Amino acid sequence: MADNTGRVIVITSGKGGVGKTTTTANLGMALAALGEKVALLDADIGLRNLDLALGLENRIVYDIVDVVEGRADFRKALIKDKRNQNLVLLPAAQTRDKSAVSPEQMQKVVSDLLDDGFTFILIDCPAGIEQGFRNAIAGANEAIIVTNPEMSSVRDADRIVGMLEAEGLKNPKLIVNRIRPKMVKNQEMLAVEDVQEVLGTNVKLIGVVPDDEIIITSTNRGEPASMSEGSLAGQAYRNIARRLRSDEVIPFLDLDEKVTFLGRLKKLFASS
Amino acid sequence: MAFNDFINKIFGKDDKTAKAVAKDRLRVVLMHDRAAIPAPVMEELRRELMAVLAKYVDIDETASVTLEDYDDAVALVANVPIRRNRLSSSKS
């Protein structure tokens, strides 16, 4: 292994569709903007999407399978983001499946990237707990679990905590994504504290991201929300990037909207 | 709708909210997930445990064996009402 201090973080969840790829793209952009040398690695072979979230889909020549099978040097396969020189993407292959890469090959790719001086390597993990997951966590030395305030994703997150622990990735960090403050306030949705409470103290909360339409429009444009000022979700991701880099204490966003007496009355009559 | 429910809803204090239900259900399901004991095994465990206990004490049929949350750990909790002690009663 390389004797440098680069951090290799796998972004995982168990359940699909909770926002792993969006989180990877946004944190990558935010970390790069903070001056880190960032490599994003799409481990979802056969179902590549991180390129779309970043708007880099038209620039792919080689992918991670080309690298591990020796058709391309890893430096040639890296796509440099023109908006921020600090950011590169190593895309997944689209025509193959998870068996195209082994955990050992993944470790080799990661160690080459570390040797090349990247300070943050974020690995976008596929959904599930099968080989794709095994590959994605193989080279990582830290983990971020993304979950939604909803039962099945919290349950899957709990299972992932156990599996990560078994692989030596202890004390994963937690991002609660897609919080709808109004529903939380109305006791209709699990609050961040509820999610933390059921997952236990082994998991450390590192961010809370509101359910924000900007995520849809920014993904449509291929410009992660964290690139531009003015959105709550973008701000949330920038804050997470800062918390990741240092122990600097940045308070969680106040997502509370006012729920009024009149609002409850209205709701009551609407539902009856 | 009972008057109390009505008042609770108006003041936002519905006692069994969707959130509370979700949290309770999650707790139970996670307890079982973490302990990784399938339901048939759990039932077998209960039967054998009761058989052992029945050798020494006269136990109530309503005995239950459940998994419960205990801080960050899971505890196996047996709640076994005892009618009387077989050993002492056989002596007398």
State how far the alpha carbon of A240 is from the alpha carbons of A26, A107, A182, A205, in Å: 10, 26, 22, 10
The pTM is what? 0.81
Chain B neighbors of A259, CB-CB under 8 A: 12
Chain B neighbors of A187, CB-CB under 8 A: 12, 14, 17-20
Contacts of A188 (CB under 8 A, 6+ apart): B17, B18, B19
Q: Which residue of A has its CA nearest to B6?
A: A268
A247: left (phi over 0), alpha (psi -120 to 50) or beta: alpha
- The rounded distance, in Å, linking the Cα atoms of A267 and A258 is 14
Residue B10 C-alpha, separation from nearest chain A C-alpha, in angstroms: 6
Segment holding A113, helix H or strand E? helix A103-115
- The rounded distance, in Å, linking the Cα atoms of A209 and A221 is 20
Find out whether A45 and A101 touch, Cβ atoms under 8 Å: yes
Q: Residue-wise pLDDT tens for chain A (272 aa)?
A: 444 689 999 999 999 999 999 999 999 999 999 999 999 999 999 999 999 999 999 999 999 999 999 999 999 999 999 999 999 999 999 999 999 999 999 999 999 999 999 999 999 999 999 999 999 999 999 999 999 999 999 999 999 999 999 999 999 999 999 999 999 999 999 999 999 999 999 999 999 999 999 999 999 999 999 998 989 999 999 999 999 998 778 888 887 654 556 656 665 666 54
- The rounded distance, in Å, linking the Cα atoms of A2 and A4 is 6
What's CA A97's distance to the chain center, in Å? 21
pLDDT tens across A183-219, in order? Answer: 999 999 999 999 999 999 999 999 999 999 999 999 9
Find out whether A210 and A253 touch, Cβ atoms under 8 Å: yes
Q: Report pLDDT for B71.
A: 66
Chain A neighbors of B24, CB-CB under 8 A: none
DSSP string, A49-104: -HHHHHT-GGG----HHHHHTTSS-HHHHPEEPSS-TTEEEEPPPSSS-GGGS-HH
Q: Does the distance separating the beta carbons of B30 and A198 come in below 8 Å?
A: yes
Q: Which residue of B has its CA nearest to A154?
A: B26
- The rounded distance, in Å, linking the Cα atoms of A255 and A22 is 20
The pairing of beta strand A173-179 with beta strand A142-147: parallel
Identify residue B51 by its one-letter amino acid code. Answer: A
Q: Does the distance separating the beta carbons of A201 and B11 come in below 8 Å?
A: no
- ipTM comes to 0.80
Find out whether A98 and A117 touch, Cβ atoms under 8 Å: no
Q: Does the distance separating the beta carbons of B34 and A186 come in below 8 Å?
A: no
Residue B28 binned pLDDT confidence (cut-offs 50, 70, 90) = confident
Q: Would you call B23 an interface residue with chain A, using a CB distance cutoff of 8 Å?
A: yes
Buried-state track B20-49, b at ≥16 Cβ within 10 A, e below 16: eebbeebeebbbebbeebeeeebeeeeeee
Q: Would you call A198 an interface residue with chain B, using a CB distance cutoff of 8 Å?
A: yes
Other beta carbons less than 10 A from residue A93's beta carbon? 22
